[in-house]
Structure 1
């Protein structure tokens, strides 16, 4: 893997949210009291049955084995938490034991987001590049692949060639007939996922994954859940707090989602977030050497849109014979906005596309976004899991062509550059399992203080979402970073890291209104 791919992969490790069109964003469940065993549940030495009672799953033993620098285990969880007798699924967990067992606080569960990103794959990056030495000394850091993801019981949708066609093809919606045809293809793909995944496809929702986290808490021997969640991981953590407020320990939710928003609201506001981030990039580029963008900032924005539009009409070539269509060019641009450290890479890619009319670098970046190798092999099932989870978390909006155009035009009023990419494609209305959830605020009444971290220039989870979540949570405390890119902890400097780690180590939240820059 080239060094540049390594650097970009670190950005994607913090979980690019699903871009609207292919899948709806996420949902929230109304807070309720803990439905599982109490916080003091122990783990007797008995393996869980294939299907049984909630208590039997909480009573299983965990067998750890060495795997590289860490310890690995697999636990069983109910396929359906509402009917634990209906069968079980497997959940992959991995941990790095605390460096100082004498001062061990407990386990710190981590989730990098997505939905669909692998916590197991994220663990090494988290312990080397995110978590501070004192946190590593006092916590067992525990990563997991949520249900539907990676090494856990996973969503599958056929061979990579079939998945690749679905994920990377350009879709042009310019009539009701073309919309109907696109939905027919999306329906067929969803049916393939249903056939390959089976009953699990109906049970990969966030509320079920949050219940899995309480199972992990108990099996790890912790009275309370300590948790660090990024991006979608904030929705998972907030959902946990709503379901199990009395079991909440120290929760850090960085790059927060607003669980009260509908799918349409999330899509529109995320489009605005990327529009603002791209504008900030253009301003940076035009004041730096070698920028291929000319004229005003608005003109530079249009030049970028033109690169993507031209790729859709006539794909860009690459030196190895691949073609970069509009979808791949779009992903290649978007992924670099997750961290302003990678803006120079976008300048290089745009220079190639504008001056040489080739797309090699855009393709490289798109491959990182898709977690795909140069030969079309997918390294994970994250792109499949993200749709399956989103479509259970959010009710689908089914529009005719004219309504879809109206929604696109609504987005374009504040986010014109890529409005089509956030509106003009089939969504979860074609998915074989429809959501029955209703978006609503999370209050988590009775929970210990919860730290919410927001970045003012976050493209994927706009800052207003962090403000909203902190306001909704009865015990929410907002920590702000004035910066660019997605999430803050681990890349925003000592002001943020000191506040986050003080909270994790002592439970003390920063003063209300704390802002880092």
Structure 2
């Protein structure tokens, strides 16, 4: 979820990366115009740019390994590979194993779309220490993101206004206001980023990854994709099946759904996560401070949101906690069970008239740091989605679909339904109803689904396996909570993933971890 009017499958790791750090250096030009022959100039990483979320340069890994950054040149337009180029920001930590242990590079995409891999990877680098024994850990800012020719739309003050808008209109005047504000935002994107908007499709990013594979010196692309990164990985496998090495897809996007179906699936997913949160709180031995029963917890949250619609409460001065900001903050906290305690605290405070914690959670989702500066995750998220997705939904269409969305989630239904208007009046046409990930001839791809995932519902893993094709996708199920499985620290999941990536041992299809 990158903005209040368009919650999407943003990985937890991207949405909380405001406090992480870093980014890129330069590369030498390609020899004789051959872009695959360019040599990367790896240097110490500078502090991240504002578009990446700001902050400090990344700290060394335990043991002292420094993060290194570089910039890879890629064609702006892959239809004209010898034309104008753009810089793709990269980061790496070199493999820690001894001589003969290194397999190659393991490329990460943490999702969004719109998340900076250059800031996310260092923040979670220790979690992948086992994988670094045999791989250089590598990530990147996809085109349109961070320092990779970022999509720019509105300034910080305008974004504060954008995120304060009512994203769940109740009457014709509010609907007209939401549609007009969406038109203004999309017009600003066209004004400030016209040259990059046609070239930020997932297929473009996949071609960048194949160039990256060659520039990094790898015969095959070894890949770890999370959330939207699973869609990118599937598209890569479709375009370059023979170049797939060992690949893992975790928190899996359903590649068979159009945007409407995806939004409806997310409504069900976030409602399930809310149900699980309420059940967890009220099942503890001590009293749940936000309700006596699961239904009481949800009823009190619904009343809070109704009250905020009528009268916002103080948030982070000078901003107020609106109904939309509170919904956004609640959704952010449901991405990880580790955040449930903050959701409980935020709700307690909000019931007493203090909206600061819920607003901090909402800011994290939206890419706003404590200084009031926004990363470009919202702009990039909308730009990539609108370049990928052919449907353009009107206010009248959403109005007709509201009953089904409300049935899927009384709390999140309106919020996710109205997010479908984000691509109205977009400057670039969308590519397709849904991505093509069929990959006959690819090496096995490990597909990990989490039964309690709110943002990428569990059913998507099975659909990805089927869409990749016979003999390619291998499904692994984690019966847990939160967005993703590997970073849950579940040993069964981590052992299966590590055994495949490190030793090439494909787990038995249908393996279940609890």
Instruction: Return 216-225 or 293-302, whichever deviates more.
Output: 293-302
Shift of 1:172: 4.8
Could you tell me which residue of structure 2 aligns to residue 482 of structure 1?
479
Higher relative contact order (CA 8 A, sep 6+): 1
Structure 1 range deviating more: 78-87 or 224-233: 78-87
| Correspondence list, 1:182-197, <5 A | 182-197=178-193
> 2:342 pairs with 341, 345, 353, which one?
345
Shift of residue 163 of structure 1? 2.2
Does structure 2 retain, via aligned residues, the 8 Å contact 1:24–1:263?
A: no
Tell whether 2:491 aligns with 1:494: yes
Partner of 2:18: none
Q: In 2 relative to 1, CA 318–399 (structure 1 residues): closer, same or farther, beyond 3 Å?
A: closer
Query: Paired residue for 2:457, among 459, 462, 469?
Result: 462
> Which residue number corresponds to residue 402 of structure 2?
408
Counterpart of 1:152 in 2: which secondary structure?
coil
Moved more, 156-165 or 136-145: 156-165
What residue in structure 2 maps to residue 150 of structure 1? Answer: 146
1:58 aligned to which of 7, 17, 36? 36
User: What residue number does 1:7 align with?
Assistant: none
Q: In 2 relative to 1, CA 301–72 (structure 1 residues): closer, same or farther, beyond 3 Å?
A: same
Structure 1, 298-307 or 314-323: larger mean CA deviation: 314-323
The 2-side partners of 1:300 and 1:278 are apart by: 9
Contact 1:20 / 1:423 at 8 angstroms: preserved in 2? no
Matched position secondary structure for 1:113: coil
> For 1:441 and 1:108, how far apart are their aligned partners in 2?
23
Partner of 1:225: 221
SS where residue 301 of structure 1 aligns? helix
Q: Single out whichever of 301-310 and 339-348 deviates more from structure 2.
A: 301-310
Shift of 1:290: 4.7
TM-score norm. by structure 2 comes to: 0.87
Instruction: Give, in whole Å, the separation in 2 of the partners of 1:501 and 1:59.
Output: 31
Q: Residue 24 of structure 1 contacts residue 387 of structure 1 at CA under 8 Å; is this kept in 2?
A: no
Equivalent in the alignment of 2:310: 313
- Equivalent pair of 1:150/1:381 in contact (CA under 8 Å): yes
Contact 2:116 2:145 in 1 (8 A): yes
CA distance in 1, matches of 2:270, 2:466: 24
Q: Is the 8 A contact 1:23 1:427 kept in 2?
A: no
Tell me if the contact between 1:315 and 1:325 (Cα under 8 Å) persists in the aligned partners. yes
Q: Give the 3 Å change call, closer, same or farther, for CA 393–25 of structure 1 in structure 2.
A: farther
The structure-2 alpha-carbon separation of the partners of 1:175 and 1:331, relative to structure 1 and needing over 3 Å to count, comes to closer
1:5-404 equivalent positions in 2, closer than 5 A: 17-18=1-2, 21-22=5-6, 47-48=29-30, 56-67=34-45, 69-100=66-97, 101-128=99-126, 130-133=127-130, 135-288=131-284, 289-294=286-291, 296-318=293-315, 320-354=317-351, 356-378=352-374, 380-401=375-396, 403-404=397-398
Match of 1:33 in 2: none
Q: CA RMSD in A?
A: 2.2
User: Does the Cα contact within 8 Å between 1:23 and 1:391 map onto a contact in 2?
Assistant: no
Alpha-carbon shift at residue 431 of structure 1 (Å): 1.7
For residues 24 and 363 of structure 1, do their structure 2 counterparts lie closer, same or farther at Cα, with a shift above 3 Å needed?
closer
CA contact (8 A) 1:277 1:337 kept: yes
Distance 2:462 2:319 in 1: 43
1:351-384, CA deviations, whole angstroms, 9 ceiling, x for partnerless residues?
1112x12212111211222221244222x21111
Quick check: 1:430 aligned with 2:422? Answer: no
SS class of match (2:493): helix
- Tell me, yes or no, if the aligned pair for 2:263 and 2:416 is still in contact at 8 Å: yes
1:243-280 CA distances to partner (integer Å, 9 max, x unpaired)?
00000001100000011110000000011000000001
Q: How far apart, in 1, do the equivalents of 2:288 and 2:432 lie? A: 46
Match of 1:10? none
**What are the Cα deviations for residues 190-234 of structure 1, in whole angstroms up to 9, with x where unaligned?**
121112112101111111000000000000000000001110000
Aligned length: 474
**Does the CA contact (< 8 Å) of 2:231 and 2:435 recur in 1?**
no
Contact 2:454 2:482 in 1 (8 A): yes
Q: Which runs of 5+ in 2 are unaligned?
A: 11-26, 46-57, 59-65
In the alignment, which residue of structure 1 is the partner of 2:61? none
Deviation at 1:393, TM superposition (A): 1.2
Matched, 1:510 2:507: yes
CA distance in 2, matches of 1:226, 1:482: 26
1:407 Cα deviation from its structure 2 partner: 0.9
Deviation at 1:349, TM superposition (A): 1.1
Deviation for aligned residue 1:48:
3.8
Q: TM-score, normalised by structure 1?
A: 0.87
The gaps in structure 1 that reach 5 residues or longer are 1-16, 27-44
